[in-house]
Structure 1
């Protein structure tokens, strides 16, 4: 069946023809984009014709870094009240424990406490024991890279002063005698979680299957997100569940999966796992072709890789998973295997190491006469030394930024480790864009708590204004609650390009999606307000009236 959309304000994201007022698609593919006056209506005599009344049509949105597995696994977590008062927080935890005895809830997982609630020394297990001591308790920090646990949890994990840290990023903060304090960086605790569950004779409701993940994918439909990259595949059950959704026609999104590795030593093993997933689960909508690495931690927790010493801890430059030579080896192997690599990095030293490694790996490929096919993506890049801003364009590195972080979401916590001058240089992407780099956008949401913030127009508003409507900075210190610097605001054309064609390029789907052009998939959304003519502070209020996926209306109506 042929469908014609006319009387529309169509933003195509295509070079040479950025706007149109009429679009025709037949089945899954677009057959015409341009002026209605140029359409031979007799040729489409039996077509369905929709007059959309001047509404705006955009390419389907691409979220190129999001975590369906983590979101689905988080649904049983207990939400904490948002407060900077530790006594109020502890009172809530204590009351919740009294109302839900350990026979009902053997393990309590709370989220979130503000990262700014504690200084660089962090909280202690003894403090949390004052609220609940009869069972394990876990409190996750707002940045999702630190947690606070009680004595009972450390006991059941079987973690003490003789327990080695799992890695340079995954560590147990310790006192002068080496005893764990109860503050944990990254997922160090998870390496020992089977000990705790065995002792409890209990497992949390964290099954990943088609049923438990369907609400996540329903949310993407509502938002007009028609393609996505998974930050990494949590386990076999997750990718199997996504595959099952697709086989019954309930996966209305193009899904790109990543497999996580930790170092060069385990990379070959993880590549073998990726090949297994490719063989079992590749479909028209599912592809898996990317390796994922966490190179450093977060700026708010002090374990990012920094070019500068921590202001209160001379000699501490943060943590990094590997140095340039090992990372270049990883990239060389990915290139040889025809795979892409997606790297979490937030610190300026991590960014420099990443760029140096790409340069080294590309040089090695040239010297061997091998083509360079690996597509490196650097995710987050929160602080970059000015001298490195031009390197992504020079080296063909994709930069992925989570737009809703652009305001006050993470507050001033990084100033526990950085100078204010460096803090003000965070989240700067316009210099990279001006140098010719390809920037694409995402949400990187990891729990149901924040899933609503994956709404693309919410992210666009925060990036365009540098103001977080939910977590504004102190207006007395920062006029209008705007996160410095004003020059870092992103324009609507940049944002729409990053959420569409640039995202498609990162995921190697640019020939099929990302722009509304003849021959590409009929994946598009109709919105009730033109983002080019909507005040930046109102972008989040734009509504998605209809979503078209593979040529079918899957949400709303035209």
Structure 2
């Protein structure tokens, strides 16, 4: 055991799961200067620390590494939690209208109602009557609601007016202003029509540095409360880079954050591509790592915009029986862009939800590997549909599957997807076991605030194991043969995403020399019935050896 002379405190009297394949379990751990100083047997740790060392007594509780979320949208999630109308994906239109009425009572007459998340099952069937009721509920105020994919928006008539959009307005490239069969606008904005609504809303909002800081601070505090101490921000704009760097310089950032800067316009308006990459490098700090670019290869299956190898189901008279959706990039174009990115020293996170888009990414990576070597990291989000022949290519090309079990359960997204994707494809979704056993670095991400109203990792971890809804009243599983075991699922939320983010020498395990990021739980998840893991509570979260979440203190009476 390698021993450092600096010990600030030791952790004893409870099982410690290290997530280190070389030594999975330990009796005790020493921490000094924000790093793990030693891991081993209690007697040895006590002896090296000396009799005066401070002690963290686990009282029999399980300790394990801080969790790592490979895919979250901190600005969107933090802003939603701090400032916006909270909606549940299970809310009906009636419940949404009621919440808007109540929320609007505290707004100025022309103030925007901004909120989310609206479930895909609601977005599937928006009518002109729904639009009328949305107008009425808001009392003349403009409304912008985000859906559970974050690719689409629902706005009302006043918002469309402020956007300058009428029934005769052409669709933006890569997006759609949805219309009914008679050509009337329904208020649904799909894909790259969404930033038009976001830009109109942002123009009327008094954004400020402190407002941004509050949003990101709130997001990180929420992550810490669930035991997350490292995260990959999945679509990082310029204001986000500046805000995160400022928080870190002030000592207020309590997580390692890897930024993914959009290569092209995506969810939010703003500078993208090489100009944004330059801004990213200016805001590199100890805990802010602007190391990735975000590429979007297709849309989402709910709106039939995922690029698929087989046609979508026909469920409406207007549907083309041969429709598969086209990727947003061509192979040569994508390969050249990735090579230029790699030449800048950056890595890539690529959104590809359809099996045709996944294949396109793998084909491009194959060419980039041949020309640029093995060093660059490539992640594919969200690996929902992969052609069987392409599964082994993830390992062969060293491509990371960025998996989002939050999209499975308890989200309503799968219910919506089943209306669009043929059963023979739908039933083979999320082949995580095959990927894991093949040696791919399966990594868990929340995609928060998409899919679910919180980035709770314990629901995602459980459903990787059970492939079932945590609610026992909801029957069935999702491709149950692809279930992981508990150790595999924990790896997907600790050391795997750490390596996928390029932070394997900093986080993801409790190993000598790594950051002392660890959590204390109210239960031993390795001994619990997996169907109860979603109820796990994080008692304490340590970031670099200091407590950044303490459930007892936060719930103590004032």
TM-score (norm. length: structure 1): 0.86
Paired residue for 1:216, among 216, 219, 244? Answer: 219
The answer to whether 1:374 aligns with 2:379 is no
| Residue pair 2:120, 2:416 contacting (<8 A) in 1 also | yes
Q: Offset of 1:192 from its aligned partner?
A: 5.8
Q: 1:362 to 1:104 in 2, by over 3 A?
A: same
Q: Which consecutive residues of structure 2, in runs of 5 or more, have no partner in the other structure?
A: 1-6, 315-319, 553-558
Q: 1:374 to 1:42 in 2, by over 3 A?
A: closer
Q: Deviations over 1:102-159 (max 9, x none)?
A: 853443335344322465xx43446412552644333443333333333333233112
CA distance in 2, matches of 1:152, 1:67: 27
The answer to whether 1:499 aligns with 2:493 is yes
The answer to whether 1:276 aligns with 2:279 is yes
| Residue pair 1:124, 1:148 contacting (<8 A) in 2 also | no
Paired residue for 2:191, among 186, 189, 196? Answer: 186
Q: Offset of 1:396 from its aligned partner?
A: 0.4
Paired residue for 1:291, among 290, 293, 299? Answer: 293
CA distance in 2, matches of 1:46, 1:196: 57
| Residue pair 1:173, 1:182 contacting (<8 A) in 2 also | yes
Q: 1:556 to 1:132 in 2, by over 3 A?
A: closer
| Residue pair 1:381, 1:401 contacting (<8 A) in 2 also | yes
CA distance in 1, matches of 2:89, 2:346: 42
| Residue pair 1:295, 1:344 contacting (<8 A) in 2 also | yes
139-148 vs 11-20, which moves further: 139-148
RMSD of equivalent CA atoms: 3.1
- 1:71 corresponds in structure 2 to 77
| Residue pair 2:131, 2:186 contacting (<8 A) in 1 also | no
154-163 vs 50-59, which moves further: 154-163
- 1:147 corresponds in structure 2 to 153
Q: Deviations over 1:19-43 (max 9, x none)?
A: 1112112222222212224446166
Q: Offset of 1:282 from its aligned partner?
A: 1.7
Q: Offset of 1:429 from its aligned partner?
A: 1.0
Paired residue for 2:404, among 399, 402, 407? Answer: 402
Q: Offset of 1:193 from its aligned partner?
A: 5.4
Q: Offset of 1:291 from its aligned partner?
A: 0.4
Q: Offset of 1:60 from its aligned partner?
A: 1.3
CA distance in 1, matches of 2:88, 2:280: 40
- 1:360 corresponds in structure 2 to 367
The answer to whether 1:510 aligns with 2:504 is yes
SS for the counterpart of 1:69 is: helix
| Residue pair 1:430, 1:490 contacting (<8 A) in 2 also | yes
| Residue pair 1:25, 1:32 contacting (<8 A) in 2 also | yes
Q: 1:557 to 1:44 in 2, by over 3 A?
A: farther
Aligned residue runs from structure 1 range 150-549, under 5 A: 150-168=156-174, 170-174=175-179, 180-191=185-196, 194=199, 202-203=204-205, 208-236=211-239, 238-262=240-264, 270-279=273-282, 281-312=283-314, 313-363=320-370, 365=371, 370-409=372-411, 410-446=413-449, 450-452=452-454, 454-469=455-470, 481-549=475-543
Q: Offset of 1:557 from its aligned partner?
A: 9.3
Q: 1:349 to 1:44 in 2, by over 3 A?
A: same
| Residue pair 1:81, 1:89 contacting (<8 A) in 2 also | no
Q: 1:556 to 1:251 in 2, by over 3 A?
A: same
Q: 1:68 to 1:91 in 2, by over 3 A?
A: closer
| Residue pair 2:442, 2:496 contacting (<8 A) in 1 also | yes
SS for the counterpart of 1:494 is: helix
- 2:114 corresponds in structure 1 to 109
310-319 vs 45-54, which moves further: 45-54
Q: 1:102 to 1:524 in 2, by over 3 A?
A: closer
| Residue pair 1:338, 1:373 contacting (<8 A) in 2 also | no
Give aligned pairs, total.
532
454-463 vs 499-508, which moves further: 454-463
Q: 1:149 to 1:27 in 2, by over 3 A?
A: closer
Q: Which consecutive residues of structure 1, in runs of 5 or more, have no partner in the other structure?
A: none
| Residue pair 1:223, 1:455 contacting (<8 A) in 2 also | yes
| Residue pair 1:407, 1:482 contacting (<8 A) in 2 also | no
Q: Offset of 1:504 from its aligned partner?
A: 1.1
| Residue pair 2:97, 2:134 contacting (<8 A) in 1 also | yes
Q: Deviations over 1:374-407 (max 9, x none)?
A: 2100111111111111110000001111222233
346-355 vs 124-133, which moves further: 124-133
- 1:137 corresponds in structure 2 to 143
SS for the counterpart of 2:376 is: coil
Q: 1:79 to 1:248 in 2, by over 3 A?
A: closer
Q: Deviations over 1:313-341 (max 9, x none)?
A: 31211242112221111211112111100
TM-score (norm. length: structure 2): 0.86
Q: 1:214 to 1:79 in 2, by over 3 A?
A: closer
CA distance in 2, matches of 1:484, 1:196: 38
Q: 1:328 to 1:428 in 2, by over 3 A?
A: same
CA distance in 2, matches of 1:374, 1:417: 35
Q: 1:34 to 1:316 in 2, by over 3 A?
A: same
